[in-house]
Amino acid sequence: MTHTTTLQMRAVFGDRYGTADRLDVRTVPVPELADDRVLIRVHASSVNAYDHHMTTGTPLMARSMAGIRAPKRPVPGSDVAGVIEAVGAAVEGFEVGDRVFGGVGFGAWAEFAVANPRGITHIPEGVSFEDAAATPMAGLTALQALRDLASVQPGERVIVNGASGGVGTFAVQIARALGATVTAVCSTGKVDQARSIGADRVIDYTAVDFTTEAGEYDVLLDNAGTRGWFATRRTLVEGGRNVTITGPKHLVFGPMRNMLFRKALSMMDSRTFVSGTARTVRADLEALAAMLAEGSIRPVIERTWPLEDAPRALAALAEGHAAGKHVIVV
């Protein structure tokens, strides 16, 4: 059973695929609340490459989820932080008034968003809505890549290629929290930022090619995907692990095609290659919430934008040189 409403809200809206300037802010109905969902009054969201894929419909494979000819869900935004406004009859563990954050897939760039309770958790006391909203997708990607795909152990040497954007800034801090020593690869203007979040060593990729270092690292987390298998394998010790979450983007298959090539090339090697896609899992959000509470991760926020400027925030992200996260404040 669903609870229908005639209440209205402001939301970013895009019913055609295209660049960010096709999005506008409209008044639309507050979404319906099903028995197994909660309704969140959104205080903040953030911008991810995922939102770019869902609003541009690229790579074309993304349309299998977002809609073949046009977006099925015209309000974008996955990361959310806010206060629970209403709770479906079948939901346990959340109450009206709870401060929560997590991932909703679509609909977070709005005053209200509906969430599956499996994809949210409580915001720890003392953590702001902005910091909470910056965390879900980028934090989950970094956590799952380092802890689950790479099985990083205390004392290991981790290099993060693409250390200055959303995922990279969480990855440097999470690798440190897992007990690794961390080398960050970023551009000149982000060197100080990488040091400030705990990188033991920073390589400016405009001056030095990190793949010229032979066999120094146990784990490469590649958030940039700028170098091929043979170049990156040199940086790893025997038995080292390359965890890659992106790569050159094919029009239809995105980075998937290149990742399959790399996987095939790694089959005969002592170094392993793993790729993966982040999952919105409550237990992992709780792990991130604990890290936020104890201060072992502090989201890096490049800029906050009002809801009306969410399309501009998305365009800024699409330029490819974010310094941490772009956060949308509602």
Residue ranges in contact with ligand NAP by CB under 6 A = 48-49, 137-138, 141, 161-162, 164-168, 185-187, 190, 205, 223-224, 226, 245-246, 277-278, 317, 320-322
Shorter beta-carbon distance to ligand NAP: residue 186 or 219: 186
Map 274-287 to HEC letters: EECCCCCCHHHHHH
Distance of CA 233 to the CA centre of its chain: 25
Shortest Å distance, C-beta 173 to ligand NAP:
13
CB of 222 to ligand NAP, least distance (A): 9
**Separation CA 204–CA 182 (nearest Å):** 14
Cβ atoms 172, 197 nearer than 8 A: yes
User: With b meaning 16 or more CB within 10 Å and e meaning fewer, what string describes 57-93?
Assistant: bbbebbbeebbeeebebbbbbbbbbbebbbbbeebee
Q: Cβ 261 to ligand NAP, closest distance in Å? A: 16
Least separation in angstroms between residue 125's CB and ligand NAP is 27
Return the H-helix or E-strand segment holding 306: strand 301-306
Closer residue to ligand NAP (CB): 49 or 178: 49
Residue 300 beta carbon to ligand NAP: minimum distance, rounded to whole angstroms: 10
CB of 104 to ligand NAP, least distance (A): 16
Q: Which is nearer to ligand NAP, 16 or 321 (CB)?
A: 321
Question: What three-state secondary structure class fits 236?
Answer: strand
For ligand NAP, give the closer residue by CB, 116 or 211.
211
Nearer to ligand NAP, 41 or 118 (CB): 118
Q: What share of the chain is helix, strand, coil (3-state, %, to 5)?
A: 30, 30, 40
Q: Which residue is nearest to ligand NAP (CB)?
A: 165
H helices of 29-157, in order, are 49-56, 63-66, 129-134, 136-143
Q: How far is the CB of 94 from ligand NAP (least distance, A)?
A: 26
CA distance 102 to 117: 9
| Helix residue ranges, H only, the chain | 49-56, 63-66, 129-134, 136-143, 166-177, 191-196, 229-233, 256-266, 282-294, 310-318
C-beta of 321: minimal distance to ligand NAP in Å? Answer: 3
Q: Which residue, 141 or 258, is less far from ligand NAP as judged by CB?
A: 141
- What is the rounded CA–CA span in Å between residue 162 and residue 261? 21
- Is the Cβ of residue 14 or residue 299 nearer to ligand NAP in the bound state? 299
Nearer to ligand NAP, 178 or 186 (CB): 186
Return d(Cα 95, Cα 181) in angstroms, integer.
41
CB atoms within 10 A of CB 256: 15
